[in-house]
Amino acid sequence: MPLIALQKNDQSRTLISRTSLEEEITKAVRVDDACTALVGVIVERLRGQSVPNWAIKGIKFGTVDRDKAGPIIEAVVVRMQRLYSISNDRGG
């Protein structure tokens, strides 16, 4: 899962594929004991010049309590939006 440093508009974020970003977010959320059963998240790339250029489209909660997981997922997403931008590759 190679990451490529941005060289154009936003040098503070690292380019990552959508699939890799979904995996990173899921792993980070599962660290919390209340969220170990989280199935995953779905990320969508935002069109245009938005920064960050992605947002959460859906969450696969599995057996995780949504009320407990919501704030944890939100905190992870805010942190990840500061770190990553989705690359333009069409493969994922």
Give 31-86 pLDDT, tens digit per residue: 999 999 999 999 999 988 788 999 999 999 999 999 999 999 999 999 999 999 99
Q: What is the pTM of this model?
A: 0.82
Distance CA 81, CA 13 (A): 8
- Secondary structure class of 36 (helix, strand, coil): coil
Among positive and negative, which fits the CA dihedral 39, 47, 75, 2? positive
- Secondary structure class of 77 (helix, strand, coil): helix
5 vs 76, residue with greater confidence: 76
Where does the pLDDT of residue 4 fall: very low under 50, low under 70, confident under 90, or very high at 90 and above? very low
Where does the pLDDT of residue 90 fall: very low under 50, low under 70, confident under 90, or very high at 90 and above? low
What angle is formed at CA 62 by the lines to CA 40 and CA 47, rounded to 5 degrees?
35
2 domain-assigned: no
Give Cα 29 to chain centroid, integer Å.
Answer: 10
Domains in the chain: how many in total? 1
Q: Which range of residues forms the domain containing residue 50? A: 8-86
16 domain-assigned: yes
Where does the pLDDT of residue 89 fall: very low under 50, low under 70, confident under 90, or very high at 90 and above? low
